[in-house]
């Protein structure tokens, strides 16, 4: 379909009024419409020089001295405190390090260990990212529990005095559905169990409110909406009131109360530090720290408002540019149920996404038939949304 001038004009006006528009200049971008920040965020402009400094000066010149002089040793907690405001947590409750999968394992096993002995069942989100399910099954075997998969909608009815802990995703990675973290956490607590949340697809895109809603433990990656880079370290949140009871299944020398004493027996460090395991991955960790500087002065509420406006506008443009029935939106319409992505179902989704990328619109494909478009409000604009929908319409008209 041809360009709709009224949509292009509205996009221009919306971009002109956007308070977050100047943040685009904090990223390395080109003329591609990049809608895959829910898989890998764009590179912040300050990161390359910072990484070069870490390699050439801190490692190259200071060498071992940088553990103290460069703040390497305290980086996991320091960077955790940088992430904390983005997920609604007070300082001292987040430690950065390891992968999301490792942190899910730590959190789930620790949650089960904190539960009453008679609670023998672990509930896991049936719609979760597969790895979370794999780890939940392993954690259940290791702790002598059983695991049962339920959808978030089924969870309240599935809770019982047998439930030890529940592992849930805040946003469904396929559809972009936002689950009710406050309500589900309250239901879990009412049953006497502990709530573990995976924030990979929500942190940096919308308010989370970990402290406000009494979440027990949470994990998340940093390479999506937090723009930390490929494979950047994940993080683990342990609510302050539970930290003295947090019994990690992976105790390591850096989570010891006296790490350099090299004691034969383990004594856990106080606070969130006991969530550490081994030597911090300094290069990627300090790249993440630099990347987080793009958040200076940014309100997460403003990010959420723009995210909803962007996804609303994109859906309007998709409707205008595509033939009725050619695609089906599987992302919920109500704002309270939507993350920061739009998922469209179409029979030839894999081929369509390949053609979109060739035309300079980058999203991704999820088997078997989902086109996924992630909207990162820090650098995606309304003109990007209009262009993506228009190119999609053109391609679908040719292949219909």
Active site residue 10: no
Residue in 37, 16, 17 with CA at minimum distance from that of residue 27: 37
Give me the half-sphere count of Cα atoms (radius 13 Å) on the Cβ side of residue 202: 27
Catalytic-role residue among 82, 274, 338, 372: 372
Query: Would you say 11 and 312 are in contact if contact means Cβ atoms under 8 Å apart?
Result: no
List pLDDT tens digits, range 200-252.
Answer: 999 999 999 999 999 999 999 999 999 999 999 999 999 999 999 999 999 99
- Residue 398's pLDDT is 86
pLDDT at 399: 76
- Name the catalytic one among 26, 82, 106, 224: 224
**Catalytic one among 129, 173, 246, 375?**
129
Chunked in runs of 10, what are the mean pLDDT values of the chain (400 residues)?
86 98 98 98 98 98 97 98 98 98 98 95 94 95 96 98 98 97 98 98 98 98 98 98 97 97 96 96 98 98 98 98 95 98 96 98 96 98 98 89
Distance CA 49, CA 64 (A): 21
User: What pLDDT shows up at residue 24?
Assistant: 98
pLDDT of residue 400: 60
Q: Is 129 a catalytic residue?
A: yes
Q: Output the pLDDT for position 1.
A: 57
d(CA 14, CA 313) in angstroms, rounded, equals 10
Task: Return the structure tokens found at 252.
Answer: 């390591």
| pLDDT tens per residue, range 129-159 | 999 999 999 999 999 999 999 999 999 999 9
State how beta strands 341-345 and 361-362 pair: unpaired
The sign of the CA dihedral 331, 335, 337, 340 is: positive
Cβ–Cβ under 8 Å, residues 343 and 315: no
Q: Is 223 a catalytic residue?
A: yes
Q: What is the pLDDT of residue 186?
A: 98
27, 34, 173, 223: which is the annotated catalytic residue? Answer: 223
Instruction: Give the number of other CB atoms < 10 A from CB of residue 266.
Output: 13
Residue with tokens 């103290």: 68
The residue from 198, 281, 364, 384 that is catalytic is 198
Alpha carbon distance 62, 76 (integer Å): 20
* Catalytic annotation present for 372: yes
Known active-site residue 56: no
3-class DSSP string for the chain: CCCCHHHHHHHHHHHHHCCCHHHHHHECCCCCEECECCCCCCCECCHHHHHHHHHHHHHHHHHHHHHHHCCCCCHHHHHHHHHHHHHCCCCCCEEECCCHHHHHHHHHHHHHHHCCCCCCEEEEECCCCHHHHHHHHHHHHHHCCEEEEECCCCHHHHCCCCEEEEEEECECCCCCEECCHHHHHHHHHHCCCEEEEECCCCCCCCCCCCCCCCCCEEEECCCCCCCCCCCCCCEEEECHHHHHHCCCCCCCHHHECCHHHCCCCCCECCHHHHHCCCCCCHHHHHHHHHHHHHHCCCCHHHHHHHHHHHHHHHHHHHHHHCCCCCCEECCCCCHHHECCEEEEECCCHHHHHHHHHHCCEECEEECCCEEEEECCCCCCCHHHHHHHHHHHHHHHHHHC
């Amino acid at each position: 379909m041809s360009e709709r001038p009224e949509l292009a004009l509205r996009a221009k006006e919306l971009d002109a009024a956007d308070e977050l528009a100047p943040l685009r200049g904090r990223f390395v971008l080109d003329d591609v419409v990049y809608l895959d920040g829910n898989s890998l965020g764009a590179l912040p402009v300050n990161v390359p020089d910072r990484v070069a400094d870490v390699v050439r000066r801190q490692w190259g010149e200071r060498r071992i001295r940088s553990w103290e002089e460069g703040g390497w040793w305290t980086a996991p907690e320091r960077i955790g405190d940088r992430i904390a405001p983005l997920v609604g947590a007070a300082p001292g409750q987040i430690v950065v390090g390891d992968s999301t999968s490792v942190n899910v394992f730590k959190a789930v096993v620790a949650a089960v260990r904190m539960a009453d002995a008679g609670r023998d069942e672990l509930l896991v989100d049936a719609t979760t990212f597969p790895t979370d399910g794999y780890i939940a099954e392993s954690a259940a075997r290791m702790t002598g529990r059983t695991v049962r998969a339920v959808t978030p909608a089924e969870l309240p009815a599935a809770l019982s005095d047998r439930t030890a802990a529940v592992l849930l995703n805040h946003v469904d990675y396929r559809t972009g559905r936002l689950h009710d973290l406050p309500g589900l956490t309250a239901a879990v607590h009412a049953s006497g169990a502990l709530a573990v949340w995976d924030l990979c697809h929500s942190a940096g895109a919308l308010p989370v409110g970990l402290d406000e809603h009494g979440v027990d433990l949470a994990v998340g990656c940093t390479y999506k909406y937090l723009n930390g880079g490929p494979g950047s370290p994940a993080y683990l949140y342990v609510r302050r009131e539970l930290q003295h009871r947090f019994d990690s299944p992976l105790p390591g020398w850096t989570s010891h109360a006296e790490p350099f004493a090299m004691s034969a027996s383990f004594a856990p460090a106080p606070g969130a530090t006991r969530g550490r395991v081994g030597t911090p991955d300094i290069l990627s960790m300090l790249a993440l720290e630099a990347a987080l500087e793009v958040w200076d002065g940014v309100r997460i509420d403003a990010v959420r408002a723009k995210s909803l406006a962007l996804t609303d506008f994109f859906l309007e443009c998709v409707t205008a540019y595509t033939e009725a029935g050619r695609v089906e939106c599987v992302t919920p319409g109500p704002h309270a149920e939507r993350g920061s992505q739009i998922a469209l179902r179409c029979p030839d989704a894999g081929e369509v996404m390949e053609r979109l990328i060739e035309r300079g619109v980058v999203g991704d494909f999820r088997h078997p038939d989902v086109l996924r478009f992630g909207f990162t409000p820090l650098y995606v604009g309304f003109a990007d949304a209009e262009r993506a929908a228009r190119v999609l319409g053109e391609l679908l008209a040719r292949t219909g």
